Structure 1
Amino acid sequence: MDGAELAREYYRSIDEDDYDALAGVVSGGFVHRRPDRTIEGREAFVSFMRSGRPERETTHVIESVYADDGGDVAVEGRLLRSDGETWFGFVDAFEIAEGAIASIRTYTGPGAE
């Protein structure tokens, strides 16, 4: 998969609770830098997504995907709560290395509808 495909699979696997697929798209040394915390390592990240995040019944709406020639990707979108309301807007900057997501830096703000 190229960087854009990895990013789309990342969101799909989280939204559909497919944690085996999620583990397959992030590298062993994966790091996720979020406004509220940094999560280091594939196992810690997948465990957090499975049982540690504040709300699990969410959906990522991808509005734009930007990829550079090196394969790195930025995704702009909104995170919806289970009732369909926008929780927040986000931009995720993906670093892709050796066919996997090596890191993500997440930026959040109000979501536009």
Structure 2
Amino acid sequence: MTSTTSSELLQAAQQLQQLRSGLAQLAQSQTSASALGQQARSATTLLQALPARYGEVLLNLLDRLESSALFTEESCSFSQKDLLDNLQTWAQKAEDQLNKS
């Protein structure tokens, strides 16, 4: 994690809020897993404001979420509900980390 200015922290917090909104939309079937993945991957200020491991975990979860979307609900080894729960947990931990900055 590099030194982050207050402006960058504000933008990172906004990107995190947008990501949480995307998660809620996906849970309600109002957006797709690939759209959420694109949104998350484009949240570069957020990812740069967090330790590198946060980006690694997020990308891993997104890859599994996008893979699970190719199959019917629980027919693949990844439960979309469990992955959404894990992404919500990731978002909470990311918020906690940003608040420490």
TM-score (norm 1): 0.32
Higher fraction of helix:
2
| Higher RCO (C-alpha 8 Å, min separation 6) | 2
TM-score (norm 2): 0.34
Higher fraction of strand:
1
